[in-house]
Amino acid sequence: MMAKALKNRDLLLGLVLIALVLAIAARFPGYITPTNLEGIFTDTSILIILALGQMLVILTRCIDLSVASNLALTGMIVAMVNAGAPDLPLAALVLLSALIGLGLGSINGVLVWTLGIPPIVVTLGTLAVYRGVIFVVSDGEWVNAHEMSEVFLNTPRILFLGLPILAWVAILFVLIVAVFLRWTRTGRAFLAVGGNPTAAVYAGLDVGRTQFLAFSISGLLSGICGYLWVSRYAVAYVDVARGFELEVVAACVIGGVSIAGGIGTVTGVVLGALFLGAVKNALPVIGISPFWQLAISGTVIIVAVVINARQEKTAGKLILRDSHRTH
């Protein structure tokens, strides 16, 4: 019953997304060309990957506000390593970005798990700290495109079966997380822990450990996105992706992930991210000033939350019959 409703929600969001794309394409045929659609997907790839990690965290009743700072710090470090040692193979740099991201994410996880500090406080703190550390390691300097090696910059752009590697990486992570959540014991634990922590403990699950894992995975994905971001925009500086954490949370919320934990699907999150990407890409096509983008995503988030709440509402929540009526 619940699963059916959720499936319908993803379907609904998918239909809205298609309707949006078609409506724009009706006036502006250039919007729906394969090149442009491919462009939207590639532009949204990093958001999709980050939103997958964020979903795992939110599923366990936590939130990770440090993802953008993690991304920027990791991106800066690999860019500096690349500038300093251009001969280092790319695989080593990608591994390095994954490890740094994992490390930063597990710091969040340890603080939440062992000390029981509320996740929003922990990640507000590390958001500030990681951002500050970028300045310390880089001394405020930029790493520009000409300092980065050819391989470092171009690998995510190589076309494979018509799509750039960057997009394939996103698809790969989507599949991995989908399989992980659906068919592995640990993956099921994420949903159980968020859905009902007390029941999860009785079922023998370690709530704190699962939350730690979620933060670690979110950190790992942020780290890899650090490399992807820096190579895509060909520059690394202190303010890279500042404020992007809210867009990541927004993609999850639009995708139907419940902030109260335990509810969320990979399909929904991917559609949520694509929705934001499609809107962002559509504005210049329609000829609306890009300054509208923020206001539109804000409205979309609010509408999505209202719709989510209607679906999640359970009869047991009403305390007094008229507690909601008078206001």
Partner 1 sequence: MTMLYDATRFAVPDRLETGWKPRLLRWETLLLAVAAAIFTFNALSSPYFLDPWSLSDATFNFTEKATIALAMALLIIAAEIDLSVASIIALCSVAMGAAAEAGAGTGVLVLIGLGVGALAGAFNGALVTGFGLPSIVVTIGTLSLFRGLAYVVLGDGVYKNYPDSFAFFGQGYVWWVLSFEFVLFLALAVVFGVVLHKTSFGRWIYAIGNNPTAARFSGIRVERVKFLLFVLSGLMAGLASVMLTSRVGSTRPSIAFGWELEIVTMVVLGGVSILGGSGSIPGVVIAAFVMGLVTFGLGLLNVPGIVMSIVIGVMLISVIALPILWRRLQGN
d(CA 63, CA 135): 25
Closest distance of CB 326 from partner 1, Å: 8
Taking the least distance from each CB to partner 1, the nearer of 65 and 191 is 65
Distance from the Cα of residue 317 to its chain's centroid:
30
Closest distance of CB 144 from partner 1, Å: 19
Closest distance of CB 74 from partner 1, Å: 17
Taking the least distance from each CB to partner 1, the nearer of 69 and 267 is 69
Label residue 143 exposed, middle or buried (CB < 10 Å: 0-12, 13-18, 19+): buried
Closest distance of CB 207 from partner 1, Å: 5
How many Cα atoms are found within 13 Å in the side-chain-facing hemisphere of 174? 21
Taking the least distance from each CB to partner 1, the nearer of 149 and 293 is 293
Taking the least distance from each CB to partner 1, the nearer of 161 and 306 is 306
Closest distance of CB 243 from partner 1, Å: 7
Taking the least distance from each CB to partner 1, the nearer of 89 and 204 is 204
Closest distance of CB 49 from partner 1, Å: 20
d(CA 64, CA 126): 10
Closest distance of CB 124 from partner 1, Å: 6
Taking the least distance from each CB to partner 1, the nearer of 178 and 259 is 259
Taking the least distance from each CB to partner 1, the nearer of 32 and 246 is 246
**Residue numbers of the site for partner 1 (CB under 8 A)?**
61, 63, 65, 111-112, 115-118, 120-122, 124-129, 131-136, 140, 197-198, 201, 207-208, 211, 238, 242-243, 246, 249-250, 253, 259-260, 289, 291-299, 301-302, 305-306, 309, 313, 317, 319-320, 323-324, 326-327
Closest distance of CB 97 from partner 1, Å: 21
d(CA 324, CA 197): 28
Taking the least distance from each CB to partner 1, the nearer of 33 and 299 is 299
Taking the least distance from each CB to partner 1, the nearer of 121 and 158 is 121
Secondary structure of the chain in HEC code, one letter for each residue: CHHHHHHHHHHHHHHHHHHHHHHHHHHCHHHHCHHHHHHHHHHHHHHHHHHHHHHHHHHCCCCCCCHHHHHHHHHHHHHHHHHHCCCCCHHHHHHHHHHHHHHHHHHHHHHHHHHCCCHHHHHHHHHHHHHHHHHHHHCCCCEEHHHCCHHHHHHHHCEECCEEHHHHHHHHHHHHHHHHHHHCHHHHHHHHHHHCHHHHHHCCCCHHHHHHHHHHHHHHHHHHHHHHHHHHHCEECCCCCCCHHHHHHHHHHHCCCCCCCCCCCHHHHHHHHHHHHHHHHHHHHHCCCCCHHHHHHHHHHHHHHHHHHHHHCCHHHCCCCCCCCCC
Closest distance of CB 269 from partner 1, Å: 15
